[in-house]
Amino acid sequence: MNNDLKVCIQIDDKTIYEFSGKIDEQIMVQSANHIEKLLINNGAKIDKIQNVFELFIETIQNMLNYAYNSMKLENNKRKVFCNFTLSYFTANNLYILDSCNFITVDQKKVIKHKVNSIKDLDDASLRKLIRQKSRSKVDHHEKGAGLGYIIMTRRSSSPIEIQFIPYKKNILKYKQRLTI
């Protein structure tokens, strides 16, 4: 495991998994598998495990694809500096995935638009939108049809919370909270 990785196994409304450092595909896979084991050991049901697992993957792959400081490696793979924490709240059986990475000011507009345009949609509307976007080829680009935020919204228990903090000229810290 990467030296930057810190794992805490306390589960009492506290952080159960924490990462700060450079993440690439291999570390993402290791982290996802570790998170899956933690949730299984925590007695989580299959849908909850799947939602946490898939939203973690979606979050990290978003960072790899779009973060300002994402570095290109061999074979078109990428590595990015980020941090994230996963916490569990026993009272309401909710997992919170907090993440933070750097983005450009232009990306802020795109993210805000994507999140705000779907935040009030119900599950049926989100499912319909996924189907429409997948088949219409509208908004398609080399990295996909823009389904990531729709699926994250659909699999979350609460609306996606986003925050943009000025860091330096044209660069922002992008904070995202998913409640699952």
Partner 1 sequence: MDNIFLEKSDNSPKVIMDKNNALIEFEGRSYPENTFAFYRPITEWLKWYFKFHTQPTTATTINFKLVYFNSATTQIIFEILDIVEEANNKNIKINWFYKEENKNGFEDYEDYAEEFPRLNIEAIVV
Give me the residues that bind partner 1 (CB under 8 A), please: 25, 28-29, 32-33, 45-47, 50-51, 53-54, 57-58, 61, 64, 75-78, 127, 130-131, 134-135, 142-145, 147-148, 150-151, 155
Minimum CB–partner distance for residue 59 and partner 1 (Å): 11
CA–CA distance, 178 with 10 (Å, rounded to integer): 20
Query: Which tokens go with 41?
Result: 């050991």
Backbone angles phi, psi at 126, to 5 degrees: -65, -40
- Residue 23 or 172 having the CB closest to partner 1: 23
Backbone angles phi, psi at 62, to 5 degrees: -60, -45
Alpha helices in 42-164 (DSSP H): 46-66, 105-118, 123-136, 148-155
- Residue 113 or 143 having the CB closest to partner 1: 143
Minimum CB–partner distance for residue 20 and partner 1 (Å): 21
Minimum CB–partner distance for residue 126 and partner 1 (Å): 11
Query: Which tokens go with 18?
Result: 């924490």
Minimum CB–partner distance for residue 42 and partner 1 (Å): 17
Query: Which tokens go with 135?
Result: 């088949």
